[in-house]
Each structure stands twice: as structure tokens, then as C-alpha cells.
Amino acid sequence: MTIVIENPLTESAHVESKVQAVPKELQLDEGFVVPDANAFGHTFRDYDVESERQKTVEEFYRVNHIYQTYDYVKKLREDYEKLNKREMSIWEGIELLNEFIDDSDPDLDMPQIEHLLQTAEAIRKDYPNEDWLHLTGLIHDLGKVLLHPDFGGLPQWSVVGDTFPVGCAYDESNVHFKYFKGNPDYSNPKYNTKLGVYSEGCGLNNVYMSFGHDDYMYLVAKENKCALPSAALFIIRYHSFYPLHKHGAYKYLMNEEDRENLKWLHIFNKYDLYSKSNIKIDVEEVKPYYLSLIKKYFPEKLKW
């Protein structure tokens, strides 16, 4: 029997602004050249290559897959959607990320501010007129402030890494799928069927995702009433949902709005993934431009 989730994650009154169609000029074959290798000389998102970095990444996913249960996700989301941890500006959040390196990332071991700027600047070069997309590139990982003590100092397995739906069967396209067998939901008949607690076409808005920086930053942006379009919020919320946007898994949970916004996510993903390198961006040089975008789309101070 299919069960529809009783409490949608966000009420219809908060549904994001109308989905934008992808302009013809926004295609995947623009000027950005995909590099042959990551900062370590390996293929991007290669989770099997033998290296010290790979060992760290695999251990991360082992723990992540065991402990990200449906009940755990609901509990954390209920806590963090209160947005009562701190008040600060977007740029203050960016500066906080200087302290952290993402243990789930096999492609980069530099502070997060470097990745944000690399992503934003690569998008800016190809699409100079889409300033909302530049800003989305800059802020998409800001939810990683969850690692900071002021935000609870959550462990990395609860903040970073690929995301996946909880409350239904895990798809085998998930990285290091084998470790899900240690998750109690894996053998729970309530959660281990294709649809689990959801219904087909219910919309990703009604699906609980593994808790982390994506969903948190989405909440921060939406509840602080930013002026970014619906597509930007979708990118922020699902940019780590690789089983969907890389492998096409879980599409049976999507609705029409999701399908339209997924087009934007496919555009964004190339820059998020392949702009990672050891080449640093001059922060002071680009800072005035991004401060102007922040002022355009966000209030001066946000609740986090």
C-alpha cells in the first residue's frame, strides 16, 4: 500500500516563484572546458582510485549511509528549520567556510571559499548576463556552516556528501551503496520499498532528503525571503543529489516543476564539479561584484 507523507516539508504558500524556462543560449556546450583530471590527477568523482584521499572519502560514506535514517533526518530538519542559530550576512557565512575542507570530496582538499569562487567565476565567464546564476554558484555550499560550533558543529557525515531520499528504498546508483546495509531503514518494510512513505509524482518538495548543507541553505534562502528565482532554490537544494541528476534515479518522485528545474541543475552541475582546481581566485578583486549581487537578492542580515 502506498502511503503519502502526512506533513509536506513546505506548505503550498511557500512554493517558490514560477519556474523559468531555460533560454536557448543556456546550453551545456558553452566556453567552459572540462579538465581531464581533478586536483589530484585523478578522474573526477572517482571513488575507487587507490589514494589516502579515497580512504577518507570512503570512510565518510560508510558512516553517512549507516546513520542518515528517516527519523534522524526528520529530527534535524525540525530543529534547523527554526533558523535560531545565528544572524549574519551572506558574506560572513562565506568567510566562515575558510575553516573547513569537505571530507566527502575526492576532487579537492582546499577551503570551501575557494570552491565557491571557482564555481561562480566559471559560470560568470560563460553566462555574463545571468547574475542570479553567478550568485547561486557563490552560495550553493554555504549550508556547510553547519560544521561550525555556532551551528551545532555537526559531523561531516551530516553536512556534506551526495544526498539521497530517506523513507524509501536506496537506489544502487548511490556512491558506496553497500554501506546502506548497515542502516536500520534498509531492512524496515515501511521504508525499503520503491516508494516507501511517498507516492509516485508527489514532488521532491514532499520528500525528505538526507540531512545536510543543501537543504539547510535552501531553508535559509527561502525563509529569509530572498529574491532568487525558483530554479536557483532548486539548484541549492538538490545540487548534491547525484543519483538524480547524474544517474536519473528517483525520477518517479518528481512532479512537473521538478522536471523543469532539473534542466537548470544540469547546467549548473558542470561548473560545480569541473571548476575545482588548485588555482586560487583573488577574493578582494571579485568581492565588490558579489557584494552587489548579495545586496540585490538578499536582506543585509539573515536568520540561520
Q: Binding site for substrate, residues?
A: 45, 102-104, 144, 161-162, 239-240
Residue stretches of the annotated binding site: 45, 102-104, 115, 140-141, 144, 161-162, 213, 239-240, 272
Q: Determine the number of helices (DSSP H) and then strands (DSSP E) in the chain.
A: 10, 2
Q: State the sign of the Cα–Cα–Cα–Cα dihedral 154, 73, 216, 61.
A: positive
Which among 296, 297, 158, 131 has a CA at the least distance from the CA of 216?
Answer: 158
196: left (phi > 0), else alpha (psi -120 to 50), else beta?
Answer: left
The residue assigned the cell 547525484 is: 242
Residue stretches of the annotated binding site for Fe cation: 115, 140-141, 213, 239, 272
C-alpha angle 66-73-250 in degrees, rounded to nearest 5? 80
245, 275 contact by CB (below 8 A): no
Within 10 angstroms of residue 42's Cβ, the number of other Cβ atoms is 17
What are the angstrom distances between the C-alpha of 52 and each of 41, 44, 136, 172, 177?
Answer: 13, 16, 32, 25, 20
112, 100 contact by CB (below 8 A): yes
C-alpha angle 76-78-84 in degrees, rounded to nearest 5? 95
